[in-house]
């Protein structure tokens, strides 16, 4: 009984706030009303968020919903006898959906064209039991091949992917961003690096320090014979002679190794 009386008293008080606000338009009273119905904004935002991509934040939806709540408070007519919760729900939801549409860079007409192509593709794929050809797609859409190709071009720029979208690993609940899964082309593959080292060690095994340096500078650092000569204080012709001698020895060494493998 105490709880029921308290609730009834609160409803009476908020009703008085509504009446006073509509008479005076006082900002303090408006803020009281907004604070009263904020939980409703969050509830609607959470319900919508459950059906949206993971890159959408709850705070963004809530912020948009608050603007809808403010408009609802301003436009609510007490004389109609409608509960404010019923009236403002539509306004809050509409404000959030408007915000979501503003975040979508793809024009609606382009999205409609993409949906049209997708529907035709799925229908033909089911009917034919295989991937439809361009001619079949054009026929289903009642257009020529050139018109179909133009439609494809217009609808092709429809998907944008946020690299900050979150995903989940298959075997756990660890949250990752898509950017975390992109391959870094600058990172050296450890396996490739190990193979490279093994080949280098095999090729240069048995060479003198000077011979080893010539091979490394020529094949790994892309220096010319002249540049290698300047580095080692040798003439270009002398570097060429040493290089030829090294290659001859390496060929003989590889041939011997090959014979041992086949025996």
Residue with tokens 């529907």: 119
Q: Is 252 left (phi over 0), alpha (psi -120 to 50) or beta?
A: alpha
pLDDT surpasses 50 at 171: no
Its sign, for the CA torsion 45, 46, 51, 57, is: positive
Q: How far apart are CA 66 and CA 40, in angstroms?
A: 10
Residue with tokens 């403002």: 88
User: CA distances (Å), 108 to each of 102, 111, 113, in order?
Assistant: 11, 5, 9
Q: Which residue has the higher pLDDT, 70 or 113?
A: 70
In this predicted structure, what is the pLDDT of residue 2? 41
In this predicted structure, what is the pLDDT of residue 38? 92
pLDDT surpasses 70 at 168: no
Q: What is the pLDDT of residues 133-146, one digit of tens each?
A: 888 888 998 989 88
Residue with tokens 């001698």: 245
Q: What is the pLDDT of residues 194-241, one digit of tens each?
A: 777 777 777 777 788 888 888 888 887 888 888 888 888 888 888 888
- Work out the number of other CB atoms within 10 angstroms of the CB of residue 113: 17
pTM: 0.42
pLDDT surpasses 50 at 247: yes
In this predicted structure, what is the pLDDT of residue 156? 58
In this predicted structure, what is the pLDDT of residue 238? 87
In this predicted structure, what is the pLDDT of residue 69? 92
Q: Two tokens at 51?
A: 């059906």
Q: How far apart are CA 40 and CA 50, in angstroms?
A: 16
Contact 96, 45 (CB under 8 A): yes
Q: What is the pLDDT of residues 51-80, one digit of tens each?
A: 776 667 888 889 999 999 999 898 888 888
In this predicted structure, what is the pLDDT of residue 183? 58
Structural domains for the chain: 2-103 (1.10.1740.10), 108-181 (1.20.140.160), 190-262 (1.10.10.10)
Q: What is the pLDDT of residues 8-65, one digit of tens each?
A: 455 558 888 899 998 998 999 999 999 999 999 999 999 888 877 666 788 888 999 9
Residue 232's contacts (CB-CB under 8 Å, 6 or more residues apart) are 210, 213, 214, 239
Q: How far apart are CA 263 and CA 251, in angstroms?
A: 18
In this predicted structure, what is the pLDDT of residue 178? 58
């Amino acid at each position: 009984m105490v709880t029921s009386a308290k609730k009834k008293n609160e409803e009476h008080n908020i009703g008085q706030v509504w009446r006073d606000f509509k008479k005076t338009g006082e900002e303090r009273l408006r803020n009281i009303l907004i604070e009263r119905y904020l939980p409703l904004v969050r509830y609607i935002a959470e319900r919508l968020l459950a059906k949206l991509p993971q890159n959408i934040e709850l705070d963004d939806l809530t912020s948009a919903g608050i603007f809808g709540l403010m408009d609802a408070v301003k436009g609510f007519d007490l004389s109609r006898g409608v509960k404010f919760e019923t009236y403002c729900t539509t306004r809050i939801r509409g404000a959030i959906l408007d915000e979501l549409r503003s975040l979508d860079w793809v024009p609606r007409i382009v999205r409609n064209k993409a949906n049209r192509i997708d529907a035709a593709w799925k229908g033909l794929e089911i009917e034919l039991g295989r991937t439809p050809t361009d001619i079949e797609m054009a026929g289903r859409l009642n257009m020529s091949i050139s018109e179909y190709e133009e439609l494809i071009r217009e609808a092709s720029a429809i998907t944008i992917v946020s690299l900050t979208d979150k995903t989940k690993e298959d075997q756990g609940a660890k949250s990752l961003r898509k950017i975390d899964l992109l391959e870094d082309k600058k990172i050296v593959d450890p396996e490739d690096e190990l193979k490279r080292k093994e080949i280098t060690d095999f090729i240069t095994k048995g060479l003198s320090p000077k011979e080893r340096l010539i091979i490394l500078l020529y094949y790994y650092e892309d220096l010319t014979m002249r540049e290698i000569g300047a580095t080692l204080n040798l003439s270009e012709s002398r570097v060429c002679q040493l290089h030829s001698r090294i290659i001859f020895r390496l060929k003989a060494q590889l041939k011997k190794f090959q014979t041992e493998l086949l025996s």
